[in-house]
Amino acid sequence: MTDLTPPFRADHVGSLLRPKAIQAARKKHFEEGSLSADELKAVEDAEIPALIKMQEDVGLKAVTDGEARRSFWHYDFMGMLTGLDLDERDEGVQFAGVKLRPIFPTITQKLDFPDDHPMLDHFKFVAANTKVVPKISIPGPSCCHFRTAPEDIHPEEYKDPEVLMADIAATYKKAVAKFYEAGCRYLQMDDIFFAYLCDPKHRAEKQANGQDPDWLIQKYSWMMREAIKDRPADMTIGMHMCRGNFRSTHAAEGAYDLAAEAIFDTGVDIFFMEYDTDRAGGLEPLGLLPKGKQRILPGFVTTKTPELEEMDWLKSKFDEASKYVDIDQLGIAPQCGFASTEEGNAVTEDDQRRKLELIVRCAEEIWGGV
C-alpha cells in the first residue's frame, strides 16, 4: 500500500484543462448573464469529480479540482481577500506574443484573509470526492506584491513596503491556519516571481520602479517563511515556480541562480521547479538544497506542447540532477499547470492525460513507486 502522506515522487502543479461543460457554463454566467451563480456551481460540482477521478486513475496520490472554478491561477484567490480588488483596464500584461486579459490587483484597505474565503469550500469539495490526498494550490505571498503596481496601493501605511509585506505575511499565515482548519494537510503556494526576478528584463522593470530586485527576493523568501512557520507538523507545504504560462506562452526567462538560496530557505517542503526549456538555465542551483527531507520536483515534462517526452531522456535528466542533489530528494512533476488561466494551453485532454501518466511511470521506474 502506497503511503498517502506527501511528498510523493509523482505530482502535478494543480490546474487542468477546463471541461467543455464548465467552459460553456462560465460563458453563460459571466458573459451572457443567462446562468445564475448557483447554476454555474451545479455544473462545476457535476464536472469536477470526473477531473478528480482522472487524476486517481493515472495513479497520482495527490489530486486537485483542476482549478476549474477559477479564471486565473492567482487573481481569483487574490480578489477574494479582504482589502484587495481586481480592476479591469485597457492594457494587459505582456507575454511572449500575446497579452493577458487586463486585470489589475488594487489594494484598497488593510489586507486580511476572510473566514468565508470561497476557496476553503473549493478544497472541502475535493476532500469529499477523492480517495487519495486532496491538495489545493493558491498563489503565494509574493503575488500580492509583485502583481500590484505601486500606484495601485492606496492605504497610506502601505507606502512603506515593510508594512505592506508584514500584512501580506500575516494574511497568508491566517490562510494557512484556515485551510488546516478546513482539513487541508497539503497546501501548495505558487511563488513564481522568484523566477521572474532572475530575468534581466523584469529586474530592470523593478529597478525602474525604485525597487531592488535582490531585496525583493529576500523579502519574498521572508514572507513565505513567516506565513508557514507556525503550521502544524502534519501539514505539508509545496511551492511552484515558473516563468509564466498563458496559452502555452511564457513571460520570463533566466536561471534560478540569483534566487535559489532564498527559495530553499523558505521552509517549504516541496519545490515544483520549471525545467522544460533552456529558459530555466542549468541544474546547478539544485545543489543549494540542504540535505534533509525537503524535495524538488523538476519540471522536465512540459505542459505547453503535446509532444510526449522520452523516458530515456527523462532518466538522463535525473542522472544529471543527481550530481547536484541526492536522488532521494527528487521527484517529478510537469513544469506548470495545463491551464494557468481558463483558456488553457495548446494541448488536448488526451495529451494532458498522457503527460500525467508519463510522470507516474517515470516515478515508478526511477524510485519504484509514486
How far, in Å, are 6, 197, 216, 220, 322 from residue 253 at the CA level?
30, 9, 17, 19, 24
Condensed to tens digits (0 to 9), the pLDDT of residues 261-309 reads 999 999 999 999 999 778 778 999 999 999 999 999 999 999 999 999 9
Say if residue 164's pLDDT is above 90.
yes
Terminal C-alpha separation, the chain: 11
DSSP string, 132-158: SEE-EEEE-HHHHHHTS-GGGB-SGGG
Query: Is residue 190 helix, strand or coil?
Result: strand
Cell numbers standing for residue 239: 511551492
pLDDT of 192 reads 87
Taking the C-alpha atoms of residue 165 and residue 174, their distance in angstroms, rounded to an integer, is 14
Q: What does the DSSP 8-state code read for residue 325?
A: S
**According to the model, what pLDDT value does residue 1 have?**
37
User: 20-367 in CATH: which number?
Assistant: 3.20.20.210
The C-alpha atoms of residue 65 and residue 69 are separated, in whole angstroms, by: 8
For residue 250, name the pLDDT band (cuts at 50, 70, 90): low
Could you state, in order of their start, the residue ranges of all structural domains in the chain?
20-367
80 has a pLDDT exceeding 60: yes
Give me the torsion for CA of 339, 194, 298, 61, rounded to 10°.
Answer: -60
Please report the pLDDT score of residue 251 as a whole number.
Answer: 60
Q: Of 167-176, 184-193, 245-254, 337-346, which range is least confident?
A: 245-254
Judged on CB neighbours under 10 Å (0-12, 13-18, 19+), 211 is middle
Is residue 20 within 8 Å of residue 344, measured between CB atoms? Answer: no
Angle at CA of residue 347, ends 276 and 360, nearest 5°: 60
Q: Are 60 and 130 in contact (CB under 8 A)?
A: no
pLDDT at position 73: 85
Tell me the backbone φ, ψ of residue 131, rounded to 5 degrees. -100, -5
307-331 per-position pLDDT tens digit: 999 999 999 999 999 999 999 999 9
- Residue whose C-alpha cell reads 530553499 in the numeric block: 264
Residue 119 or 100, more confident: 119
**Averaged pLDDT, 29-44:** 96
What is the reported pTM? Answer: 0.93
Element (H, E) at 19: none
